[in-house]
Amino acid sequence: MPASLSARTFTAVTMLVALAACGSSSGGDKAPASNDKPAAASTSSAPKIPDDLCSTFTADELGAVVGATVTTETQPGGGCGFKQEDPRAVSGSITAMPDDAGTGGFEGAQSGAAGAMDSPKVVMVDGVGTKAFLAFGTVFGGESLQTAGGTTDGKVIAIITLQQAKGLQQPALEDLGRKLLALADDKLH
């Protein structure tokens, strides 16, 4: 059975945000010079990101954000997806990554979220993390508005997505997005 538009949108937005946030290097496949120092071993100052975010975010907490009963599912890479029984209802995900140049940082996450959308509108969100944003737009010419966002504490970027096919408009999605960003900030920062 073909995947629903909401499922395809969810997958596309999540993948595009993650890919765009990975950043790139202009160094190519250059072999290290003999005087290059090896990379330092990771230290205790490296951010601790849970391997399975569904162990950090419960279905009850995520359901409280969207005002409905949801189920959760661990996504490849450790992210946590959530959905309602009705595939058109609000579903989403939370992922996390280090906020550093190697991942593209906060700006890379913001660019990736907006880049996945048709004619995106990006708003900065005050009072969540040290920086936070939400992006709104349709995806792949779809009719329903989708949302992606992120928040950082300077060490960890929490990335959220919200998908729906119920015709919700930006004010309702912005309210849900702010709540999900605040939950992510509380649990990951």
Tens of pLDDT, residue by residue, the chain (189 residues): 444 444 444 444 444 444 344 443 334 443 434 444 344 444 456 788 999 999 999 999 999 999 999 999 999 988 999 999 999 999 999 999 999 999 999 999 999 999 989 999 999 999 999 999 999 999 999 999 999 999 999 999 999 999 999 999 999 999 999 999 999 999 999
CA–CA distances in Å: residue 156 to residues 9, 67, 134: 25, 27, 17
CB distance 160 to 10 below 8 Å: no
Smallest Cα–Cα separation from 84: which of 11, 7, 158, 159?
Answer: 7
What is the 8-class DSSP label of residue 76? Answer: G
- Report pLDDT for 44: 53
Sketch out the chain's domains with CATH numbers. 5-21+49-188 (3.40.1000)
- What value, to the nearest 5°, has the Cα angle with vertex 115 and ends 139 and 94? 75
- Report pLDDT for 116: 87
